[in-house]
Structure 1
Amino acid sequence: MKYLVLVSHGDFAEGLKTSLAMFAGDKIDQVIAVGLKNGTSADDFAVTFKEALSVLKDDDSLVLLADIVGGSPLTTALSVLSEMGYLETTTVLGGMNLPMALTAIVMKDVLEGDAFVSSVLSEAKTALQEYKTASDDADDEEDDI
């Protein structure tokens, strides 16, 4: 099985998993979420992360999404995955957001390799935009006529 693994600072990963359940509840058992809590060491996070991965079997693979590339949750997770022998079968992406995670959970069993990465990153980037509302000033000017 291919799992989606979310790691973050604080409760972001767990909150994102909760949000994913609203859109892809049928796949939520394939999502593992672990956050580095405030005041917790990277070593303690490693223990918690390893425990969360206890459901994995030897032939499982992973998609790992992290909040910040180079952050402690990601670097610690990569060390644990290397130690457990899963690093070579893990796709790693950083800067996670909800559209990215949703695309990853839906497409993880459909696309592979570069096509998967391209699809997930494209959705993540497309979601980043300014939302502009229509100005009420235009309506005010029309009312004066």
Structure 2
Amino acid sequence: MKYIILVSHGQFAEGVKTSLEMFAGNATERVFALCLHNGKSAADFKADVETFLKEQQFKEDDEFVVLADIIGGSPLTTFLEVFAAQGYLEQAVILGGMNFTMALTATVSLDTMDKDELAKTALSEAKAALKQYQIPTATADEDDI
């Protein structure tokens, strides 16, 4: 079974998961959000991650796509420390710079791609979604109407 774990500072991962529920419905049953909330220490977050992993009771053959807000940030480094200690790191791909498009692509592709193909596709879609919105301008024809 494949799972997605969203990891972030503040409530970002929780917000992404809530938005995913609007678009992907039941597909989010295998999506989890772990957040280092304001005012909590890395030690507090480590305890939260340990509790989360103990409660989920993942299996040896499970695979993971971990999406983080920032590569190198304390939520991800703390998560990976605990994740590795539990023996899950070899079964995971880790992506940073999480955005909604990345998370949605990963979520709807959980059952159709292996974790490496899923990671490649999610990164590609995330990059493609980054662009400046151009406000349409009125053309001469529209001004005449």
What TM-score, normalized to structure 2? 0.90
- C-alpha RMSD of matched pairs (Å): 1.8
Unaligned runs of 5+ in 1: none
Higher alpha-carbon Rg: 1
Whether contact under 8 Å (1:11, 1:35) holds in the other structure is yes
Q: Aligned partners of 1:19, 1:100: CA distance in 2, in Å?
A: 12
Paired position in structure 2 for 1:121: 123
Q: Aligned partners of 1:61, 1:98: CA distance in 2, in Å?
A: 21
Q: Aligned partners of 2:34, 2:116: CA distance in 1, in Å?
A: 26
Q: In structure 2, do the counterparts of structure 1 residues 142 and 31 end up closer, same or farther at CA, with 3 Å as the change threshold?
A: closer
Whether contact under 8 Å (1:4, 1:32) holds in the other structure is yes
Deviating above 4 A after TM superposition, structure 1's stretches of 4 or more consecutive aligned residues are: none
Q: Aligned partners of 1:18, 1:114: CA distance in 2, in Å?
A: 25
Whether contact under 8 Å (1:9, 1:35) holds in the other structure is yes
Q: Deviations over 1:22-76 (max 9, x none)?
A: 1111112101101101121111101112222221322322110000010001101
Unaligned runs of 5+ in 2: none
What TM-score, normalized to structure 1? 0.90
Aligned pairs, how many?
A: 142
